Amino acid sequence: MQALPWAMETIHANRSTPTPVSSSSAENESPEGAQPVDLLERLKLAESLLAQTRERLAQTEAALHEARQELEAITESTSWRLTALVRTPILRILGLRHTWSRIAYDVASQGGWHATLSEAATQFRLYRAAYLHRLWLRFSGQALPETVPGSGAFGRNDYHAWQARTSKAKAAPAVPPPGKTPLISIVIPTYRPPLPLLQEAIDSVRAQSLPSWQLCIADDASADPELDSYLNQQAAADARIKVVFRERNGHISACTNTALTLADGDFVLLLDQDDLLTPDAVAAVVRCIEEHPDVGIIYSDEDRINEDGSVHTSAYFKPDFNYDLLLGQNMVSHLGVFRRQLITDIGGFREGLEGSQDYDLALRAMERLRPDQIRHIPKVLYHWRAIKGSTALDHSEKSYASTAGRRAIEEHLHRTRQVAEVLPAPELPFLNRVRYPLPAQGARVSMLIALDAPAARVAGLIAAMWRSRGRVDLEFIVCMSGHATTEQLLAGLPPEAQVRIELIHAQPGLPLSERVNAALPLAQAPFAGICTVLFDRFSEAWLEELVRLAAQERVGFVAPRVHNAKGHMDHGGILFTDEGRAVYLHKTKPRNSHGYAGRGALQQSFRALSAALLLVRRPLLADLGPLTPDFPGGLCLVDKCLELDRRGLSNVWTPYVDLEFDDPSYSGRVNLLSELGWFGASRRQWNTKWGALLPDPAYNPNLSRSGDFSLNWKD
């Protein structure tokens, strides 16, 4: 097989009556070395503070009661009633002014009136009266309904109702494909499982609609006679079930390897002792193998079930194989299927990585495959049971798994000759961040600024970029209209700063493509940045972090996470969610949101990225040729992203760089492709060149076409 391109604590306190003890014995008995007398003093102090707090609360309640009495006196007065005729119209005018402010901000943030009306027309075509009703509720200040057409009385994210509606009450028997049907060996390692849950797991295997399976169970010396008896009964009742009992406990990696010795199938499916398969899991896997005979790894979507299996929650509708996202989270696990010979070739599960042994297996197997040999089935085939002690319930339950996962990634990077450190993800520390080093030489960027704004504001942008750039040299090529001078643009920099700047005077309204084409020949640095938004704030060392990522040979364009003045996510990775529709990842999500399944806080690749700010190796950009004037606005840069994606390079969005702007006119469009218009040459050119962008590997067909990661109720 060809290699992938990169191969080139609970604290218990005992309360007792304090007795006098010596200082030395107190230090031995108390973790903090505090004597019981000290504890009594602290208790008295705490009681005193509590009494003071209660007194202040009583004073506040009294003041609130007095204020309410004063308000009632005012509203019942004659003067209040007489001014009602004047007051009511004024309040209504103020209300209209507030409503207009909301509308004006929304129009600006959606890309202007043309884009807003285009989006409104699309929404009305899809939702009719329901769209008008939601629009009225929004601008009247009322709460928005959570339902969407097709969801009935259920909320758009009510997975339990969605699953009941979209899945058949009873799975139809699968028809075996013609010829030899691949045998799927389902592997379960057990160790002192709750017997009823293990029974349910085995029953979910026996209930498969396609009988092309065998079940291989290895028990890791549980020393449970009832369990031994049950497993032996299962093996005696069905020849497809094989059981082996280990004499010595070896933990999950060793136990799974023992179960693998029983496997005869072409592929191995991993199942935990208390989880469940859907009835069509084996059939879906066999269908995928038939469609892709050289597949090496298969994974599916998953959800979680409570202990008694009555409630389904937290479905994860995953993207297709995404290397950068995989380094952040184990998206392959649940349901994970591997070609058996591949597992044999890499030596099975490695001991010492318990808790992330399946993560490590996926990384080692992936190293021997092409990306197209890793296949995703966009359907929930696995139910992960959330019980006490499981990471399905709480990631802190098994912190050792995070440590083992980071070790697995470090060793994968070493094997694939990549230099990087693996850290906890800043906002999701149980997940991972891969941080590459700065290039040994050439950490220098030519920043092409292509926008029209007053010289003072562009000077502020340049100064903010330069101050927080990190350990990177930075030069500027500015293409703008007006009569600015280089001295004006450098006014915000300190006198000692030695910064090269080139100024190109452009005609007002000159297309972005022509501005970039004019500026690029003047760039001299190894990296080229393109900025089209007047940013106000940059995270510390923002440019350094982008350079670290853009320097990787497998990477094309890179882009940061962007927030607007309201603190909402705005520009970012682009999702192509429907014909004629492209949206930014998690647009309008608040700053503290981690997004869908953590995707708002983890590095990942997309077919294309926002043109707000991009960074790329300059020779790579030059090799792409001039930006085409066929596509308006930032779409000329989206076009270049798509060209690199087609070449097999990754366009990577990183949340570890944060930029922010205040002016709503710079906000990204709700639908980027609305800039092409409904008809005309630009739309025809785009459809001819990029008409086959669906399905988007970064999205999932079970999710809404609106691109907000809500459930798809229409299909």
How far apart (Å, rounded) are the C-alpha atoms in residues 258 and 426?
A: 38
User: pLDDT at position 91, please?
Assistant: 54
Q: How far is C-alpha 210 from the chain's CA centre?
A: 34
Residues 490 and 615 placed together within one structural domain of the fold: yes
Same domain for 616 and 516, yes or no, is yes
Q: Given this model, what pLDDT does residue 74 score?
A: 72
Tell me how far apart the alpha carbons of residues 156 and 711 are, in angstroms, rounded to a whole number. 6
Site of tokens 């604590």: 9
Report the SS3 class of residue 367. coil
Say whether both 134 and 190 belong to one domain.
no
Domain-located, residue 505: yes
Percentage of the chain lying above the pLDDT 90 cut = 65
CA of 590: how far to CAs of 491, 565, 703, in Å?
A: 34, 11, 20
| pLDDT of amino acid 10 | 32
Domain boundary among 390, 419, 435: 390
Residues 474 and 373 in one domain: no
Q: Say if residue 54's pLDDT is above 70.
A: yes
pLDDT band at 401 (very low <50, low <70, confident <90, very high): confident
Percent with pLDDT over 70 in the chain: 82
The answer to whether the CB of 655 falls within 8 A of the CB of 600 is yes
Cis amide bond preceding 695, omega within 30: yes
User: Which pLDDT score is estimated for 32?
Assistant: 39
pLDDT at 169 over 60: no
Residue closest to 614 by CA, chosen among 579, 585, 584, 572: 572
Do 332 and 208 share a structural domain? Answer: yes
Mean pLDDT over each residue of the chain, to the nearest integer: 86
Please tell me the predicted confidence (pLDDT) of residue 677.
82
Residue 160 within any structural domain of the chain? no
Q: With cut-offs at 50, 70 and 90, classify the pLDDT of residue 119.
A: low
Does residue 619 or residue 59 have the better pLDDT? 619
Q: Are both 109 and 204 inside the same structural domain? A: no
pLDDT at 6: 47
Task: Name the nearest CA neighbour of 297 among 355, 374, 204.
Answer: 374
pLDDT given at position 137: 63
Quick one: 553 and 628 in the same domain?
A: yes
Structural domain ending residue among the three candidates 390, 422, 457 = 390
Write out pLDDT tens, residues 662-709. 998 899 988 999 888 878 899 999 999 998 899 999 999 999 988 999
Distance between CA atoms of residues 395 and 605, nearest Å: 25
Q: DSSP H helical segments within 528-651, as ranges? A: 542-550, 618-624, 635-646
664 shares a domain with 580: yes
Provide the CA 179 distance to its chain's centre, in angstroms: 41
* pLDDT score of 175: 60
**CB neighbourhood size of 44 (10 A):** 10
Residue 441 has pLDDT above 70, yes or no: yes
pLDDT tens digit string along 137-162?
666 655 555 777 677 778 888 898 88
SS3 state at 478: strand
Rounded Cα distance between 588 and 569, Å, is: 5
Q: Determine the Cα angle at 174 with ends 169 and 177, to 5°.
A: 160
Strand pairing partners for 473?
444
Judgement on whether residues 137 and 242 belong to the same structural domain of the protein: no
Closest CA to 450 of 657, 584, 614: 614
Instruction: Find where tokens 């308000």 sit.
Output: 71
Q: What are phi and psi of 115, to 5 degrees?
A: -65, -40
Instruction: Answer yes or no: is pLDDT of 345 > 90.
Output: yes
Please give the tally of structural domains in the chain. 3
Structural domain contains residue 572: yes
Give the mean pLDDT of 493-520.
Answer: 93
Which residues make Cβ contacts (< 8 Å) with residue 455, sequence separation at least 6? 482, 484, 485, 488, 489
Residues 318 and 450 in one domain: no
pLDDT given for residue 97 in this prediction: 55
Q: If you average pLDDT over residues 74-97, what whole number do you get?
A: 63
**Is 69 within the bounds of a domain?**
no
Domain assignment present for residue 191? The answer is: yes
3-state helix/strand/coil string of 150-178: CCCCCCCCCHHHHHHHHCCCCCCCCCCCC
105 within a domain of the structure (yes/no) = yes
Residue 709 domain flag: no
pLDDT tens digits for 277-300? 999 999 999 999 999 999 999 999
> Lowest-pLDDT range, 168-172, 399-403, 515-519?
168-172
Domain assignment present for residue 502? The answer is yes
Angle CA 221–222–226, to nearest 5: 125
Alpha-carbon distance of 564 to 631, in angstroms, equals 25
Read off the pLDDT of each residue in 249-258 and give the average, rounded to a whole number.
96
Please give the sequence-ordered ranges of beta strands (E in DSSP) within 317-452, or none if there are none.
336-339, 374-385, 421-424, 432-435, 444-450
Q: What is the CATH number of the domain that holds 635?
A: 3.90.550.10
Q: Work out the average pLDDT over 102-128.
A: 66
Q: Looking at residues 3-16, what average pLDDT do you find?
A: 39
Of 273, 221, 222, 275, nearest to 248 by C-alpha is: 221
pLDDT at 4 over 80: no
Domain that holds residue 575: 444-690
Residue 39 has pLDDT above 50, yes or no: yes
What average pLDDT does this structure show over 454-463? 96
Confidence of residue 174 (pLDDT cuts 50, 70, 90): low
Which amino acid does the sequence have at 485? T
pLDDT confidence bin for 50, thresholds 50/70/90:
confident
Nearest CA to 595 out of 567, 560, 569 is that of: 569
What SS3 string covers 523-561? Answer: CCCCEEEEECCCCCEECCCHHHHHHHHHCCCCEEEEEEE
- Running DSSP on this structure, what letter comes out for residue 483? S
In this structure, the answer to whether residues 523 and 659 fall within a common structural domain is yes
Domain closes at, from 390, 414, 429: 390
Output 405-412 pairs: Cβ under 8 A, ≥24 positions apart. 405/330, 405/355, 405/356, 405/359, 405/360, 405/432, 406/432, 407/353, 407/356, 408/353, 408/356, 408/359, 408/360, 408/363, 409/327, 409/363, 409/434, 411/360, 412/360, 412/363, 412/364, 412/367
Token pair for 305 = 């079930």
pLDDT confidence band for 359 (50 / 70 / 90): very high
More confident residue, 518 or 174: 518
Tell whether pTM > 0.85.
Answer: no
Contacts 24+ apart (CB under 8 A), 222-231: 222/190, 222/191, 222/192, 222/193, 224/192, 226/195, 227/190, 227/192, 227/193, 227/195, 227/198, 230/195, 230/198, 230/199, 231/190
In this structure, are 121 and 203 located in the same domain?
Answer: no
pLDDT at 464 exceeding the cut of 70: yes
Res 575 pLDDT > 80: yes
Running DSSP on this structure, what letter comes out for residue 597?
Answer: G
- According to the model, what pLDDT value does residue 223 have? 93
The answer, yes or no, to whether residue 16 has pLDDT greater than 50, is no
Which distant-in-sequence residues (6+ apart) come within 8 Å of 242 by Cβ? 214, 215, 216, 217, 235, 262
Q: Which range, of 66-75, 243-252, 310-319, averages the lowest pLDDT?
A: 66-75
In this model, does residue 526 exceed pLDDT 80? yes
Q: Which long-range CB contacts under 8 A does 102-106 form with residues at least 24 apart?
A: 102/139, 103/139, 105/664
Burial class (CB in 10 A: 0-12, 13-18, 19+), 14: exposed
Q: What is the reported pLDDT for 391?
A: 46
Give yes or no for residue 195 having a pLDDT over 80: yes
pLDDT at 582 over 80: yes
pLDDT at 398 (0 to 100):
53
Residues whose CB falls within 8 Å of the CB of residue 664, separated by 6 or more in sequence, listed in order: 105, 108, 109, 564, 565
Model confidence at 110, in pLDDT bands (50, 70, 90)? low
pLDDT score, position 311: 85
